[in-house]
Structure 1
Amino acid sequence: MAPAETGPSISAVVAAVLGLLCLLNTGQCDEQVPLLMWTSEGVSVPHQSSPVAGHIIGQQQLAFYLEKALDIGPRNVVLFFQDKLSIEDFTLYGGVFGNKQDSVFPNLEGALRAASSPLVLPSVAWPASSAVIGQLQDQLDTSPLYMDPETLSQLRLNASSPALLVFRLPYSIGADLLSAKEVLSGNDEVIGQVLSIMKSQSVPYTAIYTGLRPSRESVSLSTETVPGGGRSLLQARGGYREREREQERQRKMNERAGIYAPVEFKKEDRTCLLLWAKSLSVSILRSGRWEDHDLTSSTFGEGAQLQLHGSACDKDKGRLVLNYENVLGHRSFKLIFAMSQRLHKVSARRWFTLDSVQLEYDGIKATFNGSRSIYAPAEYSYRCESVTNFRWPLLIPRSSKDPSNQWRVSFEDFQIQGFNVTGSDFSYASDCSGFFSPGIWMGLMTSLLLVLVLTYGLHMIMQLCTMDRFDDPKGPAISVPQTE
């Protein structure tokens, strides 16, 4: 951690440093988010070295920074998790050019100024920042508490007992620059309220401010030529119109391609379960024939009237229930996904598994086990091109006598997440495709066969012996006795 700045405009210094480091890594800044970490006033922690200019912090290195900070500093963690955050948010709205009154981060400035040793990580890969909740959960060995200032004022914290308090901060932007500025200003007010409440409780804490994804796509620095000659780094209004047209074009392409929002189950206004598939169908065997029913339009898209009653989620268990009517002659039909997460000591991380997929119809349950093949790190989502129980099956009937043997379930382009969901978007996806595909194995075996043939040929050539006698055409022929 670097020593605290003593100047009057700490946000300007932070923004300038972040911008300089970003310029040294041109072309990749839209893939990273900044992370700021500090401790409460009066708490002194040892120095942590900041990364060199242009270095991108990955998941393992971020875990090292967090672990070192929590081993030494307070274990009551206040995480301000903004939907989107980029370096440009500091350079555009942090009063970088001397306009101190225009800064939207006064409370953040005061917190960094009061901290003895704040840590600034300007370039954190966004998959690492999106997994920071899971990393903190593992290091603190406690589940996150999603809070707001009103709820925090009623909570009594204990310095000896670790706590992970997560405050979700929005980020939205329209055609006007003022919309983003107002949102960031409101987020800074929330930060100020939370820090004031923590100070009133006299509990030392470690605070972290970062984002789920970069916001560069929405707010980018344009270097277009201006009429007066030269180039202006903040000439962004024309760029907004171009981005709006591009976003509208992308939206229309998504509509034509049939891309729709995932199924989303919320608990206390917080999304905790997500499911998406390009297509979903079920089939039943009747009189020796398979009868198919497509559930895609009933599950996804704007016209879907899907009921999720019976769904539930908590720290270690997740249950997503899709309720249908009149499916293949069954008046009541349910598709149930049961998930769980646990800590695996060998890998020293939490993993979630899709334990089972159940079909419940007219009081009968058909159960498929999926835990052997469908799993991913707890902070990731799981994605697979095809999930079925009949073609390269990942779903296995529970037993030979289970009713599931009469059913076929098929998901195309399947993706699911049951834990550590932030916002309404999936986290980084763990894909089911292994590294060694059948094509790769065929290439390796063919190459190995050719190497063996070449080796054998070289060995045979090296065994050839040169004759020690030769005929002279002008002399008598060589006579070789049979005894030799």
Structure 2
Amino acid sequence: MSGSVWLSGGQFLCFLFFLATCLAPGSSTAQVPLLMWSSDSLPPLAPATAGHITPHEEVTAYLSSVFGSGSHTVLLFLQDKLSKDDFTLYGGVFGNKQESAFKHLEAALRSSSSVTLPALEWTGLSAIPTLLQDKLGVPPLLVDADTLSHLSINTSANNLLLVHLPYCSNSLKTCKEVLNDNDQIIGNVLSFLKDEDVSYTAMYTGLHPSRVRASGFHMITKILTLQATAQAPDDANPPIVYPESGSPCIMLWAQNLSVDTTSGAGWFDLAQQSHSTAGSMCNSTNSLLVLNYPNYTLSFSMSQRFYPISARNWFTLDQVQLRAFNQTETFIGSRGIYAPAEYSYRCQTVRSYQDALLLPADITSQWRLEFTDFQIQGFSLASGNFSYASDCAGFFTPGIWMGLVTSLLMLLIFVYGLHMIMQLNTMDRFDDPKGPTISVPQTE
């Protein structure tokens, strides 16, 4: 019909998110969306009023009605960052000619019983994994599309399967490409459960909001400039100190503290997450910094001792230990992670692969670490600030060596050419073209 506008299920979802954004009052409260669907039926949920931010109490009460009795297989797609703006920007809605980045997600919502919470209260860390663990009574099991095919699911007991999805903050890909890859992972996992004839309840949410709203006027401005996808950089994080009160004895700062599995689940950045330092300790010879995150624990073990050759104390980062989902991996700092005891250690990139400074104790380890703009100090802290930094980059960097070798090669060519020129001599005798010619008599 002329003048009619038809929206697909995913576009209608984006439209709901868009209206919630438009009608929401100005607020600085951080929030993440929550999408929930099931191969069975879900209890009805009262529609939220415009601008309503769903507290965790309401989510807890609703999940109690969903997982009241019987066994359940719950699939949690947990993305590093997610906001409802991601759906309006990359969902192919409001006349955008681009293809939607959520094709499999939209298809799942259209074909299943689903519930949408556009604005779930976020107070420093998404509580959904902990909430599901309490409701189901089982710890989350980290899986991906590759390892899931080898997993045997016992449908007579509760199962909580966690699929980690990255975000575009630390990726060379565009946000749409990353979200499209995540959507493909969602489709592969759902296809596997369908092939195995496993009834499930799936949830898709973010561990951290990708965008934080400042005011209603700011949101209207973002709506009018919907095509602009640039995002202001986050404020610099303060350094991690232990103890948090009094005179610190350990300090650490990093732009990214990323962990990953070689199975392809993607990088997960811990630097932006809330943490505690319970279990840390320090004395004159040893320091241990323990960073406790939900489902992850990073431990940095340092020691210092006197070296007679240099006649001074040096500290070394002996090992980094990662505990995640009932697994423990140890990485040895056996290659150049050291500095004078009164200095801090700094390196642009500390990783456990590709020019690794951290070597896995188990060569079959499935985990990888990468710390960006990393600085740590475990001894001799002065007035709560980092001391002079000993950088991991040597004086003769690869660029300097390339310049020196190239310059030496050009110098050798120049010297060889100059030597050849100086060996040239003028002839001491010349033929006289005006002199008598040589005649050769002919005989008959």
What's the CA shift for 1:10? Answer: 0.9
Distance 1:313 1:128 in 2: 12
- CA change 1:267–1:13 in 2 (3 A) is closer
| Deviation, structure 1 residue 179 | 0.4
Are 2:235 and 1:234 aligned? no
Other structure's SS at 1:67 match? helix
Distance between the aligned counterparts of 1:265 and 1:128, measured in 2?
18
Match of 1:261 among 232, 254, 268: 254
Name the counterpart of 1:70. 67
Q: What's 2:283 paired with?
A: 282
Q: Report what 2:334 is aligned to.
A: none
CA gap 1:196/1:326 in 2 versus in 1, 3 angstroms: same
Task: Give per-residue Cα distances to partners, 1:226-256, cap 9 Å, x unaligned.
Answer: xxxxx9332526x55xx25xx5xx449989x
1:294-333 alignment runs, 5 A limit: 320=299, 322-326=301-305
Distance 1:85 1:331, change over 3 A: closer
1:213 maps onto 2:212 in alignment: no
Q: 1:211 to 1:29 in 2, by over 3 A?
A: farther
- Give per-residue Cα distances to partners, 1:37-89, cap 9 Å, x unaligned: 0002xx23432223332221122221112221122686100000011111111
Query: In 1, distance between residues paired with 2:105 and 2:169?
Result: 21
Offset of residue 294 of structure 1 = 10
Residue aligning to 2:146: 150
Structure 1 CA distance for aligned equivalents of residues 293 and 81 of structure 2: 25
CA shift digits 1:381-434 (9 cap, x unpaired):
xxxxxxxxxxxxxxxxxxxxxxxxxxxx99x99xxxxxxxxxxxxxxxxxxxxx
Amino acid at match of 2:65: K
Report the counterpart of residue 339 of structure 2 in structure 1: none
Is 1:139 aligned with 2:135? yes
Match of 1:383 in 2: none
CA contact (8 A) 2:10 2:91 kept: yes
Structure 1 position 182, deviation (Å): 0.5
Aligned pair in 2 of structure 1 residues 74, 50: CA closer, same or farther (>3 Å)?
A: farther
Q: What letter corresponds to residue 110 of structure 2 in structure 1? A: R
Contact 1:9 1:100 in 2 (8 A): no
The 3-state SS of whatever aligns with 1:199 is helix
Give distance in 1, aligned partners of 2:293 and 2:219.
44
Instruction: Give the aligned partner of residue 25 of structure 2.
Output: 26
Structure 2 counterpart of 1:185 = 180
Question: Which blocks of at least 5 consecutive residues in structure 1 are unaligned?
Answer: 1-6, 226-230, 284-292, 301-307, 341-408, 414-484
Partners of 1:21 and 1:53 within 8 A in 2? yes
Equivalent position of 2:157 in the other structure? 161
CA 1:61–1:142 in structure 2 vs 1: closer, same or farther (change >3 Å)? same
Q: Deviations over 1:244-298 (max 9, x none)?
A: 5xx5xx449989xx87139969695778996669x98635xxxxxxxxx896xxx
TM-score (norm 1): 0.50
In structure 2, relative to structure 1, the CA distance for the partners of 1:252 and 1:118 (3 Å cut) is: closer
CA-based RMSD of the aligned residues comes to: 5.0
Partners of 1:9 and 1:32 in 2: CA distance = 26
Shift of 1:107: 0.3
Contact 2:76-2:163 at 8 Å conserved across structures: yes
Higher helix share: 1
**Where does residue 44 of structure 2 map in the other structure?**
47
The letter of the residue matching 1:65 is Y
2:435 is matched with which residue?
none
Matched to 2:178, the amino acid is: V
- SS state of the match for residue 213, structure 1? coil
Q: CA deviation at 1:102?
A: 1.3
1:93 aligns with 2:90: yes
**Superposed displacement of residue 324, structure 1:** 1.3
Q: 1:84 to 1:262 in 2, by over 3 A?
A: closer
The question of whether the paired residues in 2 share the 8 Å contact of 1:32 and 1:126 is answered with yes
**1:389-404 alignment, distance < 5 Å:** none
Residue 157 of structure 1 and its aligned partner are, at CA, apart by 1.2
* Count of matched residue pairs: 298
Percent identity for Structure 1 against Structure 2: 35
Q: Say if 1:29 and 1:87 are closer, same or farther in 2 by CA, change over 3 A.
A: farther
Alignment check: 8 A CA contact 2:30 2:212 kept:
no
Which residue of 105, 108, 111 maps to 1:111?
108
- On the 8 A contact 1:39/1:73 being kept in 2, the answer is no
Q: Name the CA shift for 1:265/1:223 in 2 (closer, same or farther; >3 Å).
A: closer
**SS at 1:186 equivalent:** helix
- What's the CA shift string for 1:213-233, capped at 9, x where partnerless? 111159x987559xxxxx933
Is this contact kept in 2: 1:262–1:276, CA < 8 A?
no
Q: Retained in 2: the 8 A contact 1:33–1:85?
A: yes
Separation of aligned partners in 2, 1:13 and 1:313:
36
SS of 2:123's equivalent in the other structure is helix
2:12 corresponding residue in structure 1: 13
Distance 1:252 1:274 in 2: 13
Q: 1:93 is aligned with what amino acid?
A: Y
